[in-house]
């Protein structure tokens, strides 16, 4: 269950990062609210996952999922350029996250 919570928290990290960029420095109401709510959910989920998973693994997985999804979303929406090299690097991040899960704790 901790791994599922951790993955969902990583997804919420991507949501808050994207919302933060769209909030124009927290001056736009809706993106600012999405940022605050998703940030809280993400942090609470990370804290819950860390009750039974090691801190280093938890943090690396959380950041990796959030970073990969944030970049992927930015590429899909056209906010960031897409290249084969970037996609391969993102797959490397995902591979490392999966590897951390496979080696266990």
Check residue 103 and give its pLDDT: 87
In the predicted model, what is the mean pLDDT of the chain?
Answer: 95
- From 53, 59, 55, select the one nearest 10 (Cα to Cα): 59
Cβ(2)–Cβ(51) under 8 Å?
A: yes
Question: Higher-confidence residue: 98 or 36?
Answer: 36
* pLDDT band for position 33 (cuts 50, 70, 90): very high
- Dihedral sign for Cα 60, 63, 67, 73, please: positive
Nearest to 15 by CA among 59, 51, 62: 62
Backbone angles phi, psi at 13, to 5 degrees: -65, -40
Q: How confident is the model over 46-74, as a mean pLDDT?
A: 95
Please identify which residue in the block is written with the tokens 């979303």.
Answer: 73
pLDDT band at 105 (very low <50, low <70, confident <90, very high): low
Tell me the C-alpha distance between 28 and 5, whole Å: 29
pTM > 0.85? yes
Give CA–CA dist 4/9, Å, rounded. 9
């Amino acid at each position: 269950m901790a791994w599922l919570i951790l993955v969902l928290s990583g997804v919420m990290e991507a949501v808050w990062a994207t919302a933060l960029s769209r909030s124009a420095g927290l001056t736009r109401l809706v993106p600012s609210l999405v940022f605050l709510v998703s940030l809280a959910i993400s942090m609470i989920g990370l804290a819950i996952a860390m009750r039974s998973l090691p801190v280093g693994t938890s943090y690396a997985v959380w950041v990796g999922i959030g970073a990969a999804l944030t970049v992927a979303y930015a590429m899909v929406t056209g906010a960031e350029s897409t290249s084969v090299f970037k996609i391969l690097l993102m797959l490397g991040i995902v591979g490392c996250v999966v590897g951390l899960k496979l080696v266990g704790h």
